[in-house]
């Protein structure tokens, strides 16, 4: 049993059940024993491998999209380049290597990394040592300076706390974590209700026992991004696994040493995520004045951005083994049954901005 599990139990015993959001926030962000606070969870030795860690091509193509956004914005002389949750800093290092081909982009950019984990901040600083920009660290997105902005976020929003509600005969009641008679962590229905007015039509007819999720923390950040973009001009690329239309379902999942794990089994030692509701994310940004372009799957985004051409160039003159590894990375990133379909890419822009490879807003 982890120390954190004991502390969570003691807290429940003293103060009552935790919401799923409180549980997630504690497991991931506890200052002493939170998952992200205490470790580097990425790569073969960690619990999961993210797209930038699969291949440099991912960050390079995201970098090319950022360059085209900067062109479309009229090459602002000063802008905030922002990454939310940069992990090891790999995506940003690959992005900046491409961006460095356009020195005016680099000269205009101020690099802001939004990262809560002191350990990962250090890893990011090391990864970016040879990059042309030195990072300014922000605790929260709200701390990023105002101004024209180009923002990227890969697998950031899935780590933000969600709430879950269960359909019961008395309406949608918040799903909570309490203690069983034997003293184990267990799910149950709490007393809080989802207000009828907040229930989208697409879940209103869900049967008893159904679960629906809300993501107020993610939506609040999307709204803030939307406001900045609407006020000062800019573009954001949000990449994550998730769904395009609001629907009932329990997407809370724990990953422990590359395998799914019961959500309540290893608090603080397992990664805990939820699928992102892209419809809600886009609506939050649009409510603040930004434009949300029709989202693409990660596979479509990468292929439209020139993944195959980049793979060909990268493999030219390399050994058979290296070419094989590049082909494998292409599969992994873009094939529909790998990351290609589950991951989505949402582009937010200021009004009227053309942002290839996305189609313009309908
Ligand atoms: N983008 C990286 C890492 C994804 S993991 C990649 O693709 O490899 C999630 C990242 O978000 C980690 O860096 C984690 O420390 C950070 N993070 C999680 N919750 C956060 C929060 N509330 N505020 C800021 N950063 C957070």
Q: What is the per-residue pLDDT for 314?
A: 97
Tally the C-alpha atoms within 13 A of residue 278's C-alpha that lie toward its C-beta: 23
Cα(87) to ligand 1 centroid in Å equals 6
Confidence of residue 1 (pLDDT cuts 50, 70, 90): very low
Which atom of ligand 1 is nearest to 217's Cα? Answer: 22
Short-list 185, 221, 249, CA closest to 22: 185
Beta bridge partners of 213: 164
Cα(28) to ligand 1 centroid in Å equals 10
E strand or H helix that includes residue 257:
none
Answer for the pair 206, 248: CB distance below 8 angstroms, yes or no: yes
Residue range 197-214: mean pLDDT, rounded: 88
Residue range 147-174: mean pLDDT, rounded: 96
Is there a cis peptide before residue 357, judged by omega within 30 degrees of 0? Answer: yes
Instruction: Provide the angle, in degrees to the nearest 10, between the axes of the packed helices 90-99 and 118-127.
Output: 30
Cα(138) to ligand 1 centroid in Å equals 12
On average, the pLDDT of the chain sits at 95
Query: Does 2 have pLDDT greater than 70?
Result: no
Q: What is the per-residue pLDDT for 42?
A: 79
Query: Which mutation among 50, 85, 224 tests ligand 1's pocket best, with the greatest number of atoms within 8 A of CB?
Result: 85
**Measured distance CA(263)–CA(247) in Å, rounded:** 21
How far the first Cα of the chain sits from its last, in Å, is: 52
Short-list 311, 313, 317, 305, CA closest to 329: 311
Query: Does 25 have pLDDT greater than 90?
Result: yes
Query: Which mutation among 27, 36, 95 tests ligand 1's pocket best, with the greatest number of atoms within 8 A of CB?
Result: 36
CA dihedral sign of residues 254, 255, 260, 265: negative
Q: What is the per-residue pLDDT for 18?
A: 97
Q: What is the per-residue pLDDT for 258?
A: 85
CA 126 centroid distance within chain: 22
Q: Which of 195-209, 271-285, 319-333 has the lowest mean pLDDT?
A: 195-209
Answer for the pair 202, 245: CB distance below 8 angstroms, yes or no: yes
Confidence of residue 195 (pLDDT cuts 50, 70, 90): confident
Instruction: Supply the residue whose CA is at minimum distance from atom 2 of ligand 1.
Output: 87
Q: What is the per-residue pLDDT for 113?
A: 98
Q: What is the per-residue pLDDT for 41?
A: 81
In order of their start, the domains of the chain are 3-25+162-213 (no CATH), 51-157+215-349 (3.40.50.12710)
Which residues have C-beta atoms less than 6 Å from ligand 1? 28, 36, 42, 50, 52-53, 85-87, 91, 114-117, 120, 154-156, 159-160
* pLDDT single digits (tens) 91-122: 999 999 999 999 999 999 999 999 999 999 99
Answer for the pair 355, 253: CB distance below 8 angstroms, yes or no: no
**Measured between alpha carbons, how far is residue 264 from residues 8, 27, 119, 192 in Å?**
11, 10, 25, 21
Q: What is the per-residue pLDDT for 204?
A: 86
Any long-range contacts for 248-253 (C-beta under 8 Å, 24+ apart)?
248/167, 248/203, 248/206, 248/210, 248/211, 248/212, 249/211, 249/212, 249/213, 249/275, 250/164, 250/211, 250/213, 251/213, 251/275, 252/20, 252/24, 252/162, 252/164, 252/213
| Percent of the chain's residues with pLDDT above 70 | 99
**Measured distance CA(53)–CA(59) in Å, rounded:** 9
Query: Does 149 have pLDDT greater than 70?
Result: yes
Cα(199) to ligand 1 centroid in Å equals 29
Confidence of residue 43 (pLDDT cuts 50, 70, 90): low
Cα(115) to ligand 1 centroid in Å equals 6
Strands (E), the chain: 18-19, 79-84, 109-114, 136-138, 149-154, 163-168, 171-179, 185-193, 211-214, 234-243, 253-256, 259-261, 271-273, 276-277, 291-292, 296-297, 343-349
Query: Does 197 have pLDDT greater than 90?
Result: no
Instruction: Supply the residue whose CA is at minimum distance from atom 3 of ligand 1.
Output: 87
């Amino acid at each position: 049993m982890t120390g954190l599990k004991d502390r969570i139990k003691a807290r429940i015993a003293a103060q009552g059940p935790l919401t799923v959001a409180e549980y997630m926030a504690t497991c991931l962000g506890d200052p002493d024993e939170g998952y992200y606070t205490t470790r580097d969870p990425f790569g073969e030795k960690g619990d999961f491998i993210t797209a930038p860690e699969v291949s440099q091509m991912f960050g390079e193509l995201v970098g090319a999209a950022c360059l085209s956004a900067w062109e479309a914005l009229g090459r602002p002389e000063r802008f905030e380049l922002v990454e939310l949750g940069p992990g090891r800093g790999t995506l940003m290092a690959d992005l900046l290597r491409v961006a460095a081909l356009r020195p005016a982009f680099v000269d205009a950019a101020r690099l802001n990394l939004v990262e809560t984990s002191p350990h990962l901040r250090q890893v990011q600083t090391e990864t970016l040592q040879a990059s042309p920009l030195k990072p300014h660290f922000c605790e929260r997105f709200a701390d990023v300076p105002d101004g024209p902005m180009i923002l990227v976020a890969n697998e950031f929003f899935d780590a933000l706390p969600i709430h879950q509600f269960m359909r019961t005969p008395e309406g949608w009641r918040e799903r909570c974590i309490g203690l069983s008679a034997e003293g184990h962590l267990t799910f149950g229905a709490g007393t809080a209700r989802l207000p009828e007015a907040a229930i989208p039509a697409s879940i209103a007819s869900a049967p008893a026992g159904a679960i629906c999720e809300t993501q107020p923390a993610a939506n609040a950040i999307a709204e803030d991004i939307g406001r900045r973009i609407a006020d000062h001009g800019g573009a954001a690329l949000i990449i994550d696994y998730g769904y395009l239309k609001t629907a009932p379902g329990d997407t809370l999942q724990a990953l422990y040493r590359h395998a799914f794990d019961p959500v309540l089994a290893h608090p603080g030692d397992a990664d805990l995520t939820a699928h992102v509701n892209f419809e809600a994310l886009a609506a939050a940004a649009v409510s603040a004045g930004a434009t949300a372009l029709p989202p693409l799957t990660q596979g479509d985004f990468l292929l439209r951005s020139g993944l195959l051409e980049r793979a060909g160039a990268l493999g030219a003159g390399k050994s058979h083994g290296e070419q094989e590894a590049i082909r494998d990375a292409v599969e992994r990133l873009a094939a529909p049954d790998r990351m290609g379909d589950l991951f989505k890419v949402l582009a937010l822009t200021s009004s009227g901005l053309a942002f290839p490879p996305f189609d313009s807003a309908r």
